[in-house]
Amino acid sequence: MKILKTIEELQNIRKNITSNVGFVPTMGALHDGHISLIKKARIENDVVIVSIFVNPTQFLPGEDLDAYPRKDEADKKICEMCQVDYLFMPEIKTMYTKEEVLLKAPNKSYILEGKTRPGHFDGVLQVVLKLFGITQPTNAYFGKKDAQQLSLITQMVKDFFLPINIVACEIIRESDGLALSSRNIYLDEKQRKDSLLISKSLYAAATLVAKEEKDVKVIKEKIHEVMQTLDLEYVAIVDREFNEIKKIELNNTIILVVAKFGQTRLLDNIWL
């Protein structure tokens, strides 16, 4: 595995690669969820590139940019174990100039995650487009846990006619059901226990659907019932284009929940 710090290094290597390239963009603090993406990329591509970059433009004032977990040495070992070919670890000054051409996310970026974090997805799309330009991947791998982000990146690729296949990967969970997240380390013992109500509520919703309950109002009520002791930020049931729906549409519905544990926000979802 070769570790690269500059855009020029990576571009010089990339221009000589003629086979399939799989790309996994991350912000580091790698866990089993990231590893699942990398392993899938390794199976499906001849060359695998992983990036680690904590992107400042997607953090709003007062958010945890400075506190965001950084585990560079451990991350390097994980990438080596996963047989990554190239690990791209740029600095902020490498990725951003003083005056940027800005990217404006579409209106659906201002609902759900974007409602409480206006501008967040502008920063996400900005850095992902930069990374796509540098790595020029054949396939790029993203987890379904960040469903709204996945939808917006998929739309960006389509709107800009980028020759990139976006691969949506399943959510990886702890054995007790909690969706893996780099922010899970912020939870104290009680919060960690309480957080299990998130996945429990989604499983309860899926059980209702399996019993042919299609009314969104009924399913939301069940989720609220399961999570009534938590600081619930939102419950949303949408189609794959993130339009609100009144009836469950199989193979076209996502149930999303976000709860807060102190200063830590945990999001989870289930695709029906």
- 223 three-state secondary structure: helix
Q: At what angle do helices 7-14 and 120-135 cross, to 10 degrees?
A: 50
Residues 108 and 242 sit within 8 Å (Cβ to Cβ): yes
Residue labelled with tokens 């930069």: 130
Angular region, 112: left φ>0, alpha ψ -120 to 50, beta rest: left
What phi and psi, each to the nearest 5 degrees, are found at residue 268? -155, 165
Residue of 31, 34, 120, 224 with catalytic role: 34
Distances (CA, A) of 272 to 31, 223, 254: 25, 15, 6
Among this protein's residues, is 34 annotated catalytic? yes
d(CA 93, CA 218): 50
Closest CA to 45 of 77, 4, 75, 17: 17
Catalytic residues: 34
